[in-house]
Amino acid sequence: MKSTSIRSVSSVVVETAFFLVVFCFFRKKVVSLHYPNECEHMKNYLMSEAIGDIAGSAYEGRTHRIKDYDKVKLFSSRARFTDDTVLTFACAEAFIDHLDMTMNLWKCANEHRHAGFGSRFKLWMADHNPQPYSSLGNGSAMRCSSAGWLAQSEEECVRMATETAAPTHNHPEGIKGAVATALTIFHLKNGKDKDFVREQILDEYYPDWSNQRYADFHDSYTFNSTCAGTVGPALICFLESKDYVDCIKLAIALGGDSDTLAAIAGPMAYAYYKKMPDALVYQAMKMLPDWMVKVSERFDEEVNLKK
């Protein structure tokens, strides 16, 4: 009797274990199907910003701004990386190498002094004891994407985005621009949809833009270098886009701060669509210095380890 009971218990344990293995296997499959936007097999995260910046750079300046979507050409002969990409990669490098954010931004900026920095930022670069100057400009939103890609929780995302902005853009509007942008990337990479972004990010952070559609403001939109005048429109470009390239072209065709609009919207689009044309990645990568290429590769490894 005793041996029979032992065999019976053993049999139940084996059967239960087998059931759990099978259950977990299929549960994993079901979860994968239920969340089609989970980040899998992705790379070149930082390039999603660089492509937007480079593409938009050709349409910077009063004489080059464009409103016609059909005439937007990605990577024209005038295209180059700007301060947006320099500082995006500087923030990413500071995170993955545990560097002081302020000093790494300062170092990288001074290594690329002709990348198109604004006049106030240049004064910050020239100071050997750089201090924040309460900027509310869109520079905080264009450089923060690494926070959204790396963060493991909403709270961590807010903290990291704030860290990227604080060395210069410590005005509440500057911080808000970085946080709203990074949170959008964070939520999209984790499977949230466009309705969530509209309701939880656009409506909450930029209510003045919440009821607007792209066509409502396209014709009247002009250059605006503030977070309040840039992040909302960039969000709308993403929300109304059909794919990554469409998002970039919509941002450029607003005829505003084209490189920054596209640099902000690009990572949002990549976090959602999970695809960028390989040809654009290759072209953009060729334009970047070696240190950025290496940071991009190491950043991919860091993000994919956290999945």
pLDDT tens, residue by residue, 87-125: 999 999 999 999 999 999 999 999 999 999 999 999 999
| Residue with the two structure tokens 């840039």 | 230
DSSP 8-class letter at 296 = H
Confidence of residue 307 (pLDDT cuts 50, 70, 90): confident
DSSP 8-class letter at 166 = T
pLDDT computed for residue 34 by the predictor? 31
pLDDT computed for residue 19 by the predictor? 38
pLDDT computed for residue 39 by the predictor? 54
What's the angle, vertex CA 199, arms to CA 91 and CA 173, rounded to 5? 45
Q: Tell me: pLDDT of 51 over 70.
A: yes
Q: Tell me: pLDDT of 32 over 70.
A: no
pLDDT computed for residue 304 by the predictor? 95
Segment 25-51 shows an average pLDDT of: 62
Confidence of residue 21 (pLDDT cuts 50, 70, 90): very low
81: left (phi over 0), alpha (psi -120 to 50) or beta: beta
269: left (phi over 0), alpha (psi -120 to 50) or beta: alpha
Confidence of residue 198 (pLDDT cuts 50, 70, 90): very high
What SS3 class is residue 137? strand
Q: What is the pTM of this model?
A: 0.87
Q: Tell me: pLDDT of 5 over 50.
A: no
Q: Tell me: pLDDT of 147 over 70.
A: yes
Mean pLDDT, the chain, whole residue set: 89
Q: Tell me: pLDDT of 29 over 60.
A: no
DSSP readout, 194-259?
Answer: HHHHIIIIIHHH-GGGTT--HHHHTTT-----BSTTTHHHHHHHHHT-SSHHHHHHHHHTT-SSHH
C-alpha 249/C-alpha 206 separation (Å) is 22
What percentage of residues in the chain have a pLDDT greater than 70? 87
Determine contact, residues 230/180, Cβ cutoff 8 Å.
no
Determine contact, residues 100/165, Cβ cutoff 8 Å.
no
pLDDT computed for residue 266 by the predictor? 98
Of the candidate ranges 21-35, 52-66, 128-142, 260-274, the one whose mean pLDDT is the lowest? 21-35
Segment 277-291 shows an average pLDDT of: 98
SS3 string, 29-97, reads: HHHHHHCCCCCCCCCCCCHHHHHHHHHHHCCCCCCCCCCCHHHCCCCCCCCCCCHHHHHHHHHHHHHHC
Please state the φ and ψ torsions of residue 171, each to the nearest 5 degrees.
-70, 145
Q: Count of CB atoms within 10 A of residue 156's CB?
A: 13
Segment 48-58 shows an average pLDDT of: 98
Position with higher pLDDT, 306 vs 255: 255
Partners of 137 in the β-ladder: 226
Segment 164-180 shows an average pLDDT of: 98
Please state the φ and ψ torsions of residue 137, each to the nearest 5 degrees.
-75, 165
Of the candidate ranges 19-28, 38-47, 147-156, the one whose mean pLDDT is the lowest? 19-28
pLDDT computed for residue 40 by the predictor? 60
C-alpha 76/C-alpha 98 separation (Å) is 36
